[in-house]
Amino acid sequence: MNASRLRADAAENRARIVEAARSVVSASGELKLNAVARRAGVGQGTLYRHFPTREDLLAEVYRHDVEELVAAAPLLLAEHDPVTALARWFDRVADYARVKREVFAAVEVGVWQDLSTGSVGPIGDAITALLDAGRAAGVVRPDVDARDVILLLGCLTRLDDAEWDTRARHLLHVVLDGLRLREG
């Protein structure tokens, strides 16, 4: 649908840019926009037209990972009680994030990509499902939404590698506790 509205050369360029970005990221761990453009054999303008911000490009590069994350939510809910499902899902986010920190940018942009429509994006939907289940079971506080959770998870991005192992899970536990309904 989207592709068919693109001119043939534009579609090809877009694909080449994404591929170039992927290889630049996996080679250097960094993402330099002009390096991507050079490698893809396109001009800077072309790159920026297809992906206005660095995050848009990242979102495309990591779309596969994001989709996996999204798909995991209902599976976890089917197997576990809501709080455990949420905890496991957080663990999964942490796993992705340790290896490729950039996934977070993709997640964040993925969540808000159609902010205007009122929808909250695929990741937002996954989180909403987890929260809803918890609310229905009376174990998650009713006044949080997906955006809140995304924001809270965002604190992981500030961790540096050295402290990741000691702190990441721990922070997620604290966040999880904050999301749970306090009985009493």
Partner DNA sequence: TGGACAACCGGACACCTGTCCGCTAAAGTC
Partner DNA sequence: GACTTTAGCGGACAGGTGTCCGGTTGTCCA
| Count of residues that bind DNA according to CB under 7 A | 24
Residue 160 binds which entry of DNA, a copy of itself, none, CB below 5-8 Å type-dependent: none
**Closest to a copy of itself by CB, 18 or 107:** 107
Q: How far apart are the C-alpha atoms of 145 and 128, rounded to whole Å?
A: 7
The partner in contact with residue 49, picked from a copy of itself, DNA, none with C-beta cut-offs of 5 to 8 angstroms by kind, is DNA
Q: Taking the C-alpha atoms of 3, 5, 112 and 130 in order, what is their torsion angle to the nearest 10 degrees? A: -50
* x/- track of binding to DNA for residues 48-87 (CB under 7 A): xxx-xxx---------------------------------
Using rule CB under 8 A, residue 161 touches a copy of itself: no
Among 3, 6, 137, 174, binds a copy of itself (CB under 8 A): 174
Which of the residues 139 through 158 are near a copy of itself (CB under 8 A)? Answer: 141, 143-144, 147-148, 151-152, 154-155, 158
Taking CB under 7 A as the criterion, the residue among 3, 26, 27, 34 binding DNA is 34
Q: Is there binding between residue 175 and a copy of itself (CB under 8 A)?
A: yes
How far apart (Å, rounded) are the C-alpha atoms in residues 137 and 116?
31
User: Where does this chain touch a copy of itself (CB under 8 A) — which range of 18-26, 33-41, 52-60, 168-176?
Assistant: 168-176
Tokens of 113: 């990509």
**182 exposed, middle or buried (CB, 10 Å; 0-12, 13-18, 19+)?**
exposed
Where on the chain is the footprint of DNA (CB under 7 A)?
5-10, 13, 31-35, 41-46, 48-50, 52-54
Residues that bind a copy of itself (CB under 8 A): 108, 141, 143-144, 147-148, 151-152, 154-155, 158-159, 163, 167, 170-171, 174-180, 182-184
